[in-house]
Structure 1
């Protein structure tokens, strides 16, 4: 089963062991010793599972996941923690965990639980295909093609382009885009939208001959 898995574990040896065993099973892994850049990865990449320690530098793991859930991030989470009291495990689930494994743990059991969660959640992805002019977006594979040629985009850029195509007859204000794509219109600036759209335009129209996305001065953007 192809899947992208983020692991947050502050014990470097354990992080390497987890990555090694998951990669042996065919998964792509991204490992972190803390949570500093995890939110950015979840926004920009298509992540299928998050394996999260709780005793982390700077932030408690379940608190971090709770904040993700409040921000609308629904990536499945397995807590992997030495906090093994009943109330700790209950707290992990209440904060948004999908599974909870206590340390020390059996690696085979972890791999089986990873496989089970991925199997359960893989069918949530829409098979919707979106088209506009010579753009083709396949939601099942999260791929974009322009005139039949695949273009490499981030998760954020894919979601942004989907939003434009689904609302192709409307002008989309920056506040709307921040709320619908970033999930937060209060803690991001309009510059965030401008930069992301310019980056997307460079990828789907590098020669600047097709002008898919037009700026509506003082308002926002629309497809054209």
Structure 2
């Protein structure tokens, strides 16, 4: 070829709004009594991702060998991320442990040697839309929304960028900065709400 067919083509990145759950929305999802076993299972796996920050592909491959107990008796998830090959060291929260306990005797887990009965990503995202309707959550739930929830939650409770970066297995701290920006925007929204509250009081005086 004598000329580059892509010479005049320019690419650009569009900013994407990252969907995540607020603390109360996550608690609603965790505590919701779901009678349909299929949806209850999807809820558990999604919440496990929210509580650990693991991506869908990593949760699907999670095995007992990835759980390590330290000298203090604390259980950690120690697993190499499929996407970046970076090692994740994540403390296993009590709520996440409860979810694992529910599926220790599950037939799929027994035959496949995994800790959770994870279906395909396509089915998971389809069922999550049903879950959102049942729980009254007006957000587009997806498997990646769970990871965003974990990252935002860590920054909200005061974890620093480096710690959050390591927990999520990011290759670069610049990726983690996205969550810091989200948290900052929520702070601005909160302050603006207070400002508007005083404006309404002045208007009534």
TM-score normalized by structure 1?
0.30
**Which has a greater percent of strand?**
1
TM-score normalized by structure 2?
0.32
- Greater C-alpha Rg: 2
Higher relative contact order (CA 8 A, sep 6+): 2
**Which has a greater percent of helix?**
2
